[in-house]
Amino acid sequence: MRVNSSSKEPEIRPVDTVHPRHVAPLERRMCQESRLSRGGLLTCCESCLFLTAIVIAIMHLATASSLLLAAAACAGAVRTMIPKTSFDSQANFDVDWNYNYPWGTDHNGGARMDKGQVKFSSGMLTLTAKKVTGQKDAQHGGKSIKINYLSGAISAKEHFNVSRGGGYDFTGEFRATTTQGTWPAFWLTAVNSWPPEIDMAEWKGSGKISFNTFNTSSVLSWKDVTYSDPDRFHLIKCEVRDINQRDVSVKFYMDSQPIATHVGGNFFGKPMYLIINLQMEGSSGSPGPNSDTLYQVRNLEVLTYNP
State phi, psi for 26 to the nearest 5 degrees: -60, -45
Q: Within 10 Å of residue 231's Cβ, how many Cβ atoms?
A: 6
Rounded CA separation 275/83 (Å) = 16
Please compute, for residue 143, the number of CA atoms within 13 A of its CA located in the half-sphere on the CB side.
Answer: 9
In whole angstroms, what is the distance from residue 86 CA to residue 25 CA?
67
Q: Say how far apart CA 273 and CA 161 lie, in whole Å.
A: 9
| Catalytic site residue from 11, 173, 197, 301 | 197
Residue pair 139/200 in contact by the 8 Å Cβ criterion: no
Q: How many CA atoms lie within 13 A of 212 on its CB side?
A: 23
Cis status, amide bond into 14, omega within 30 of 0: no
Catalytically annotated residue among 11, 158, 202, 281 = 202
Residue 239 annotated in active site? no
| Cα 228 off chain centre by | 27
Non-local (6+) Cβ contacts of 77 within 8 A are 305
Strand 149-151 to strand 111-113: parallel, antiparallel, or no bridges (unpaired)? parallel
Alpha-carbon distance of 64 to 70, in angstroms, equals 10
Strand-pairing partners, residue 212, are: 199, 222
Q: Does residue 307 have a cis bond before it (omega within 30 degrees)?
A: no
197 is catalytic: yes
Write the single-letter amino acid at 278.
L
In 3D space, the residue among 306, 307, 304, 234 whose CA is nearest the CA of residue 80 turns out to be 304
Q: Which residues are catalytic?
A: 197, 202
